[in-house]
Amino acid sequence: MLKNISKIVLSTALMVGYASVAQAEMSREDYAIKFRRGGYTVLGWYYGPLYRMAKGEMPYDKALFLRNADYLAVLSKLPKDGFIPGSGAGETKAKPEIWSKSDKFKEANDRLENESARLAELAKTGDLDAIKVQFGKVQKSCKACHDDFKNKAD
């Protein structure tokens, strides 16, 4: 019992320590940039197999598709939290329109979230034709936001 408690205390101390180290090393704005870019990287990782299965570049595996689509539905909600005010400069491809046209940016986020949620629903059915159509809608929601709000590779 005591051992367990000391474990909890220790791991909490480590977590708090880690968070303050990360924040001490960089500004909150830089940390936000790092967070959202990491978020998109993780999202892109799970999106990859969905893309390949939808495009026939990899055999369709219902269980894998469903798992990744479920992850995508959750991951699609995270990066938006990292676009905090003042985080438009630095190691980022974010366009200033994210903040000056925040309603449109919110719409683009909602679109990704809704299309991803729909994809996860459809993935349960295993109806590959319908899944492919819905995947196309997710793909378009990524592209639409990148066109409007992300700078191209420099």
- Binding residues for heme c are 142, 145-146
- Rule CB under 6 A: choose which of 66, 73, 94, 120 binds ligand HEC: 94
Question: 150 φ, ψ to 5°?
Answer: -125, 130
- Based on CB atoms, which residue is closest to ligand HEC, 44 or 126? 44
Annotated binding site: 142, 145-146
Q: How far is the CB of 73 from ligand HEC (least distance, A)?
A: 10
Stretch that binds ligand HEC, among 2-10, 18-26, 63-71, 138-146 (CB under 6 A): 138-146
**Residue 109 in contact with ligand HEC, rule: CB under 6 A:** yes
**Residue 102 in contact with ligand HEC, rule: CB under 6 A:** no
78 CA to centre of own chain: 5
**Alpha-carbon torsion, ordered 83, 66, 44, 148, to 10 deg:** -60
Provide the 10 A C-beta neighbour count for residue 106: 12
CA 66, 69, 71 angle in degrees (round to 5)?
Answer: 110
